[in-house]
Homo-oligomer: A and B are copies of this chain.
Amino acid sequence: MLAIIAPRASLPCLKIVQDRRSNAGGSVGRTRVVPGTTEDISRRFVEDIADQDDDFDRWYVDVVKRAELADDAPVRGCKIIRPYGYALWENMQAALDTRIKATGVQNAYFPMFIPESMFQREADHIEGFAPEVVRVTRAGESELEEPLVVRPTSEAIICPMYARWVQSYRDLPILINQWCSVVRWEDRPRAFLRTTEFLWQEGHTCHATPEEAEERARQMLEVYRDFIETELAIPVVPGEKSDAEKFAGAHRTYTVEAMMGGKNWALQSGTSHDLGDHFGRVFDIEFLDRDGERKFAFNTSWGLSHRTVGAIVMVHGDTNGLKLPPRVAPIQTVIVPIWRKEAERDVVEDFVGEIEARLRDNVRLFTDRRDDKTPGWKFSEWELKGVPLRIEVGPRDVQNGQVVLVRRDTREKQSVPVGQLQETINGLLVQIQNDMFQAAQQRLTDMTVKVSTLDEMYERISNNAGFSNAGWCGNAECEKRVKAESHATIRCIPFAQPDDPGKCVVCGDKAQHEVIFARAY
């Protein structure tokens, strides 16, 4: 079994990095064990975080802020991604970037500004994005002759370049991705899930045949599925979007849908679009094919954004805060040294130094040496921050040559001799990652129910009971009615279909597919 720990260059993962024994002789209060149980402190620590069951949305906001993933920005619609949240995103980026590159895609960078006239060329595209598009109209003291759109997505700036680069079938395929931020105006932001500016990657490919474009669109959806399930421990349902839910201008849109905790709503976690030759025609991406004929090229685009950070929070979090999947956690193991007297401190510190030396190269490790916080406070804070494993080391542990190891997900404790620590931690991190996925998978299964009547479905929707599988005739009117009456939408037509999808849950006609209806973020 491979260790899942990708070590990073001795990265201090937190602001509170301190030198060993800093302030040791200073006027600052020393770490001590306070009377009262850990539970007491833990309860006090999280008391200003809303209860998950009472108000899941408020819980989300509180946890994101208290765990220092993100903070409010002094700009409407925007949030600030703080170092702890960004370190998580960086680990996610690295894991996804490797997967994307493994399929032959290369990174590049296109300007964030798109001339208004260029943006206007694709009609569906404009219509889809118009209400949320942000425009630059002034530079220095001058008004611009033509406003610039700040990219809400980059098809309209990338496709004209493809038109320039592609002459013959030999220039195809073009496989490009970019990591950047995009802008879609948002009045009521929610950190990671919905902000005016957000971070993502957007891939844009260009092909000689429709089959190749279709294959690429499906391939990248599979990359997303694998990334989200393997790295984030979140099970997803891959499928196709209905016409009403397609990307503006797409031939087909594929999606991976995840079920969040709390209200059991859906989160569209990554989408991949087969654009057909629609953009090729509009932007004149024409090439001389092998057979000597001039043809329009076929495109795909696909994106995954930092809303997947929000998914991690909502799928795995509990009353005590975050639970981060070990594979992407900025800190995989936190060490909390414990002592009462100065003499103990030295003994514990030496032992901690030894543990650090053993683990440092194989685990993303942080030792919390703050001396103005009690161990109990630290336990709660690191639980809130979702660190998968905690090592507690007190004077008695030093005597016994062992440490106490505590899992964040189950809160199970065990004593481990230092000689077995590395191996135990490696095993536990894999175990935790698996267990977190299994727990989320179990929930998704339990909370997905086949329904055959509208009443049954609406009751589930209003009770936040999860996903409803239902037959659908394929008619947009039926889809529209459900949305109007319940706010639920067709999340996707799953790739995995029953032999007989039965009847349309709305009109009772023969169903074309079984689809998932659910409310979504």
Contact = CB atoms under 8 A, between A and B. Distances in A.
A15 B175 contact: yes
A12 B102 CA distance: 8
Contacts of A80: 108-111, 161
Contacts of A199: 109
A101 B9 contact: yes
Interface stretch (A71-79, A224-232, A491-499): A71-79
A144 to B, nearest CB: 9
Interface string A113-156: 11100100000000000111111111111000001101000000
A20 to B, nearest CB: 14
A106 B71 contact: no
A181 interface: yes
Given A9-B101, A17-B104, A108-B83, A75 B148 contact: yes
A86 interface: yes
A463 interface: no
A132 B140 contact: yes
Nearest to A185: B139
Contacts of A98: 9
Given A17-B104, A101-B9, A108-B83, A134 B130 contact: no
Contacts of A74: 115, 118, 157, 160-161
Interface in A59-82: 71, 73-75, 78-82
A287 to B, nearest CB: 14
B132 A78 contact: no
Nearest to A330: B106
A399 interface: no
A176 B86 CA distance: 11
A110 B82 CA distance: 8
A90 interface: yes
A112 B79 CA distance: 10
Contact of A75 (B11, B108, B114, B171): B114
B9 A112 contact: no
Nearest to A103: B12
A13 interface: yes
A131 B137 contact: no
A508 to B, nearest CB: 40
12 contacts: A9-B98, A15-B171, A73-B110, A75-B114, A75-B157, A80-B161, A81-B108, A85-B108, A90-B107, A112-B181, A134-B138, A180-B181
Given A75-B148, A170-B372, 15 more contacts: A9-B98, A75-B111, A75-B113, A75-B157, A83-B107, A83-B108, A85-B108, A86-B109, A89-B109, A109-B199, A113-B196, A132-B139, A135-B139, A136-B137, A139-B185
